[in-house]
């Protein structure tokens, strides 16, 4: 149905063109009889577009490109400034970090020296106390030894008296035994 309607429309257009004296089958832009008018309209259209591009479009595009170029250069300057500030901040940070490490090292050394001094003084106190305790112990040991030695003489005299009494069978006096023991121990 559509095909037949379309075919009928084309045949009617061909009949209408033939009635008005038009040549059928030639594409109008390639028709040599219309070249002069086409060239005139081409020149007018080219002139209009040239004028439009030269006066309106290209200046706007140039301004846009110039604005972008300026903005990019400003951004680059700002980025360089920020980079320099960052580098300065990093250098200051490194300097402060170095100073802080040095201060920490000094404080640690001072604390170590103070701790060593306190430890040395405590050690000296403990050594002094130990020396006193040692002297007291030696004095007590000497006293105990002297007391033991004194009792050894009593025990020796008691033992000697018992032995002499057993051997001799007689009675000797303590004074005689003490005199004999003191002569023997010299």
Per-residue model confidence (pLDDT) at position 77: 95
Query: Among 14-18, 44-48, 117-121, 176-180, which range has the highest average pLDDT?
Result: 44-48
Per-residue model confidence (pLDDT) at position 3: 54
Per-residue model confidence (pLDDT) at position 29: 82
pLDDT tens sequence across 143-174? 888 888 777 777 777 777 777 777 777 677 77
Residue 181 has pLDDT above 60, yes or no: yes
Quote the pTM value.
0.39
49 vs 121: CA distance, rounded Å: 103
Radius of gyration of the chain (CA): 67
Residue 185 has pLDDT above 90, yes or no: no
Residue 1 has pLDDT above 50, yes or no: no
18's CB contacts (< 8 A; 6+ apart) are 24
180 vs 168: CA distance, rounded Å: 15
Confidence of residue 40 (pLDDT cuts 50, 70, 90): very high
Query: Are the C-beta atoms of residues 18 and 24 closer than 8 Å to each other?
Result: yes
Identify the residue with better confidence: 85 or 175. 85
Identify the residue with better confidence: 22 or 117. 117
Per-residue model confidence (pLDDT) at position 71: 96
- 3-state DSSP assignment of residue 21: coil
């Amino acid at each position: 149905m559509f095909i037949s309607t379309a075919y009928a429309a084309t045949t009617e257009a061909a009949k209408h063109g033939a009635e008005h004296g038009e040549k059928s089958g030639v594409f109008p832009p390639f028709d040599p009889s219309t070249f002069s008018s086409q060239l005139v309209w081409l020149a007018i259209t080219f002139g209009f577009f040239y004028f439009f591009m030269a006066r309106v479009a290209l200046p706007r595009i140039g301004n846009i490109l110039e604005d972008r170029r300026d903005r990019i250069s400003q951004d680059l300057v700002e980025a360089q400034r920020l980079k320099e500030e960052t580098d300065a901040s990093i250098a200051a940070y490194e300097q402060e970090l170095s100073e802080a490490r040095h201060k920490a090292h000094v404080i640690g050394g001072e604390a170590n020296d103070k701790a060593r001094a306190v430890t040395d003084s405590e050690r000296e106190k403990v050594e002094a106390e130990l020396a006193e305790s040692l002297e007291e112990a030696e004095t007590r040991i000497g006293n105990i030894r002297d007391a033991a030695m004194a009792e050894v003489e009593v025990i020796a005299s008691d033992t000697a008296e018992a032995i002499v009494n057993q051997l001799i069978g007689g009675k000797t006096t303590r004074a005689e035994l003490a005199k004999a023991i003191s002569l023997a121990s010299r």
